Structure 1
């Protein structure tokens, strides 16, 4: 992981005044550290732009985060496009 803590990465990812590349790097750092719960929180956060929610969702598409992704799918609390993406990612993990 980067020199940032998971909490700092989340703060940066949701900071609308931060540089977009830094926000994306923060989400990537969460993925590399398998911070599944933090990524799921970003996906569920309606206050951040869809592109970052989508990136966080794709970051959950790993075997290490499959249970967290499963919970998101089962909750059915995401917007329809994110819900559909989550279901596809989960299916892809389950097929492997």
Structure 2
């Protein structure tokens, strides 16, 4: 596990000049640390490459982040195919309860 702060993970995930693996690792670190708000912010970043937005969305599919995932679906939905994916992930998380 890295000793990066959540802010450093976000900066790395957003860094277009960074290696794709390092960016994906930063998102995984946010998931491991249950940084739901930070993951949500990445999902909402329309200027972020969709593969990283999707990875952040998938990282929210945990019992610890289910309320954040619900916000993405119900309260302030994201657009397009990410919304459909968020709905499916939320259903999966709720079914696992």
**TM-score, normalization by structure 2:** 0.95
Distance 1:49 1:32 in 2: 21
Distance 1:75 1:24 in 2: 27
Q: Does 1:40 align with 2:20?
A: no
Could you tell me whether the CA contact under 8 Å between 2:54 and 2:82 is conserved in 1? yes
**Secondary structure, in 3 states, of the residue corresponding to 1:57?**
helix
**1:47 CA drift (Å):** 0.8
Give 5+ residue unaligned stretches, structure 1: none
1:65 corresponds to which residue?
A: 65
**TM-score, normalization by structure 1:** 0.96
Distance 1:28 1:55 in 2: 8
Runs of 4+ in 1 over 2 A off after TM superposition: none
**1:76 CA drift (Å):** 4.8
Distance 1:58 1:73 in 2: 13
Give 5+ residue unaligned stretches, structure 2: none
